[in-house]
Every structure is written in C-alpha cells, then in structure tokens.
Amino acid sequence: MELEMAADMISNSKKRQEHERKKKKKWTGRDITLVGMASLSLLFLAVFSYAPLFGLVLAFKDGDYGLNLLKTMATAPWNGFENFAAFLLDPNFVDALVNTICLNLIMLLINFPAPILFALLINEVRNKHYKKVVQTLSNFPHFISWVIFGGMIIAMTDMTTGIFNPILEAIGLSSEENPVNLQGADYAWATIILSSLIKGVGWGSIIYTAAISSLDGEMYEAAELDGANRFQKAIYITLPGIASTITVFLLLNISGLLGNSFDQFYILQNSLNLSKTQVLTTYVYQTGISQRRYSYASALGLFNSVISVTLLLISNFISKKTTGRGIY
C-alpha cells in the first residue's frame, strides 16, 4: 500500500513538473517583443560592428587606391607589416601621436574630474527648481552638434568680428593694432580643452549625480550629528560612495588616450593651428581615407585599437591590485 502511494506521489509530481514545463514554454506578446528587440540589436551589431572588422585584413595588404574594397580585400597581395612601418616612420604621424597623447593627458587631468566636482556642487543645492535649471542649462551644450558649437567658437574667436578681442583690449591684453589671434597655434589647445569642458561637463555629471542620489541618507545624518560640515561629508561619504563609478570611467578614459572627437578637431582646424590640432583621427582621415590609402588607414586604425585595449587591460590590472575595483 505504501509503495503504491509513493508511486502515485512520484507520478503526480512528474505530471506537475511536465505541466509547469509546458506552461513555461508558452510565449507571451511581451516575450516576443523582447526577443525581437534583442535580435534587432544583435543584427545591428553584426552588420555595423562585426562585419567591418573583416576590413582589417587590408592592414596587411597592398590595397591602396582601390575603388572596390571587397575585391581589393580578396585579391590584393599581402605585404606583411609594410603599412605599419610606413606610418611609424612618417614624421607627420609622430607629430599627430604626440598631440593626441598630450591633449588627452591634459583633458584627463582637467576634464575628467570636472564633472565629478560639478556633481558634488549640484548635490549641495537644496532648491529643487534651481537645481533643475542648472542641470538643464549645463546639459544643453551636449546636444548641440559640433558643427554648430564649433562654428560659434570660430565666430567668437575671430580677430576682427569676435567678442573676445574687444574684451582683451578692455583689460589691456590686446590692442586694435595688434589683436590676439585666438585661432592660431598658440591658443589651439586651450580652445579645444575649454570647448570640450563646456560641452561635456554637464552631461558627464549625470552618472555621478545618479550615483550620489543612491547613497544612504542616514550616513549623512549621522555625520551631521558628529559635527561634519559639507566639505567633510563630500570627502568622507560621497566620494568613497561613488568610487566604483569613478574607477570605471577613469579606466575608460585611460583606454581612450589615443582617441579624439573627430568632428571637434576637424571643425576647429585651420592652416594656422594645424601643427597643434592634427591628431590621429584627423590624420587617418586626411592621410588615409581622403587619399584613398585604405590599407594605410586600416593599419593606423588597428594600431590605435591594439594600444587602446592594452591600456585598458593594464589600467584595469593596476586598479584591481591597488583598490580592488575594476571593470571586470
């Protein structure tokens, strides 16, 4: 009798499991929508991110000046590392590399901490309406195209019609006979760094502001009871609380030391400041793509990618060893 009851229980359990399994197999409209969106995302990545990677074979082929790239990739003769040697021995490439590294290091020291400081200041604003106004105004430049934003900078820094030279004249730093050429090589880096800062500080602070808002408010209340001021709360509570977020963005910025915003540099470039504004992205376009030197451009792009991944791995390893935090 007991054996029969046990057998019935096992049978009923199997039936229930089978029933549950069948129920789980039924797809709802929401499941279909999610799978469809995921499939479209994968298709987008496959077409626009992974498929172009096959073009990297041009870096090791003599495929320059070919109009049919697919045919060139298939039939062009292999030349080993000749394309890499060509740009490494090019003095113009060395100048562009130096400009890229120096500019990105300066922006890492200035433009990276700026959004963090701005987020800390925003967090201290108690008036909600004023806070929203400040955030909206600071985020607005991010949504302006570099074509428009760069055009505004060029117009404002013009020697004859710009607004900055009259201001410099008023404070005695310029004169009508000898105006300051703000579009020249001497001021090119300052213009690029400040324009990047203005355009990105508000948008860059959004992630940090969100991270700060997720911190436990009881810690701040306890700190106030202990007599901590705003500065001490920011140093000992806020910054340690968002340290993981700061680490991730710092590592991503370090990995991008060889990358620049192409549209910003291309728009702000001119014949007077080219020696200071020629970076790898514009060098690839002008020397590689514009002159149809596709193998040369592919080699440059591959070099850039390898260095960026290497920097990311090294910085992530150092970060995990020193702070215990990293991207993965």
The string of pLDDT tens digits covering residues 110-125 is 999 999 999 999 988 8
Give strand pairing partners of 61. 78
Residue written as token pair 């209340």: 221
* Confidence (pLDDT) at 118: 94
Judge contact between 210 and 247, C-beta under 8 A.
no
- The stretch 261-276 carries a mean pLDDT of 88
Q: How far is residue 129's CA from residue 127's CA, in Å, rounded to a whole number?
A: 6
- Please, are residues 115 and 208 in contact by the beta-carbon 8 Å criterion? yes
| Residue 19: per-residue pLDDT | 57
Q: What's the rounded Cα separation, in Å, for the pair 246 and 118?
A: 13
Q: Give the rounded percent of residues in the chain with a pLDDT score beyond 70.
A: 89
Q: Which residue has the higher pLDDT, 10 or 234?
A: 234
Alpha-carbon distance of 280 to 300, in angstroms, equals: 8
Residue 271, CB-side half-sphere exposure with 13 Å CA sphere: 0
Cβ proximity of 242 and 213 under 8 Å = no
Q: Is the dihedral of CA 39, 42, 47, 51 positive or negative?
A: negative
With the C-alpha atoms ordered 168, 169, 174, 177, is the resulting torsion angle positive or negative?
Answer: positive
In sequence order, the 6+-apart residues with CB closer than 8 A to the CB of 286 are none
Q: What is the mean pLDDT of residues 143-159?
A: 90
CA 292 to chain centre: 28
pLDDT of 177 strictly over 80: no
Give the chain's largest Cα–Cα span. Answer: 113
**Residue 157 phi, psi (nearest 5):** -100, 5
How much is the pTM? 0.78
So where are the chain's domains? 2-52, 61-322
User: What is the Cα–Cα distance from 55 to 53, expressed in whole angstroms?
Assistant: 5
CATH superfamily to which 61-322 belongs = MetI-like (1.10.3720.10)
- With cut-offs at 50, 70 and 90, classify the pLDDT of residue 3: very low
